[in-house]
Structure 1
Amino acid sequence: MKIGLWNIDHPETASGSKRKQTRFEQISDYLALANCDAYIITEANAAMTLHDYSCALSVESPFKSSRRFYGSPNIYHQVAIYSKEPIDRSEVFDPINGLQTTVGNNDHSLVLYGNVITIKDQWSKTSDFNYNDRLNQQIEAIRNLPRERTLVAGDFNLRLGWPQKLSAHNSIKAELGADGWSWPTEERQDTVQHVLHTRDLNVDLRFDFSVKHDKGRANGLSDHPFVEISTSSANKANT
């Protein structure tokens, strides 16, 4: 199965801004052209529909920015999962920052868990949580996922090389690594988007940085690269 991972920084439509509308449409076009079997999208907008895909969404996000337009039809969600195959949704502990689904049928199904280890509580007047609270919540949520044919992907708001997040990085490595999870993005220093998976899956990653905003370029669709995740099994050619 080919799965796309991307933080799209909540693109906006119908805001009256030509620039924002163009970005919204270009992101939608990029995803259509990538033609993945499923997508795990963070900082998503319910207004973005993909032809021939079903969609599941985390609970509407309470984290709002004064720089964004939230008028109809825009609805901001921390996580969206799109799939060409049927989606079966499961309950999760933190329905704002996590979304668990099973996509596909029978032997070809995969459990997909999309998440954000958010830093946005620091700007919220209604939340007493901090990053470490959210980190611990997500570590516990991942521990409770099925231990076969499961892929976790999302925005962890950390990468190797950030001294201020070294403790969080070590916690994920120690607690989830010891719990049997593989972490192929563990040593990457160029993205805060991460992938974890159960050990019965083989995972290959391809990064497209051409979509990322760059100080040397005027273009760019997001602050994050697009990640193509190809999964395979030791028992079968493709999952």
Structure 2
Amino acid sequence: MTPPPVPSPATTTGATCTGITPQYTYDATGNTTKRAETPGSATSQTLNWGPEDKLTKTTEGATATGYVHDADGELLIRRDPVGETVLYAGSNEVHLKGAKKWAARSYSIAAVKVGVLANESGTAKLSFVAADAHGTSSLTISADDTQAVSKRYTTPLGWARGPAAANWPDDKRFLDKPEDTAEHSLIAYERRHHGWSATVLVPEAENRPRISQEDADLEHIGGG
């Protein structure tokens, strides 16, 4: 569902928005077409949408990222401004950047992602993956004798938090959706592709086991 435009798409500390430059603009169906990089910033990001309300291009300054979707509306191809093209085909990713080519394949058990096989280094390497209840992965352990551990942190709304994890095996992050690092933004369809600024998914309390407040807070953070 696409939300309607907000009545006053501007940022101010005053009593009204009169005379304040709008920070967000929308098309007739409510998709965000332009937004400030940060509240009050002179730098903005332009978003172009296709006839089926799917994001086709984002432009920020002189850089742009393009997106192609399949017949079901899922992301199929991403082309970023640093020259990398990624094909998303189910549990597989195929990357092309200049003359370099590599791929990654995810493995799941009972719809839960448990591993990724990738060959970006030139050699196929298997990593075990741990994620939260929403599919946001926060930990990988290499399957070789080194059992190297990589850990990363994610904010409740899906943005990267803290230093980047070394040698992360695939291109997924929040809700196990592709991460658009070139534009410093996340392609989580529950958010950007429907015009939302953010969505937090929390299961109904009555369907969840009783847990401590600390554990609940960590689960809500999803990756912390």
TM-score normalised by structure 1 residue count: 0.33
Greater relative contact order (Cα < 8 A, sep 6+): 1
TM-score for both structures, normalised by structure 2: 0.35
Bigger proportion of residues as strand: 2
Larger Rg: 2
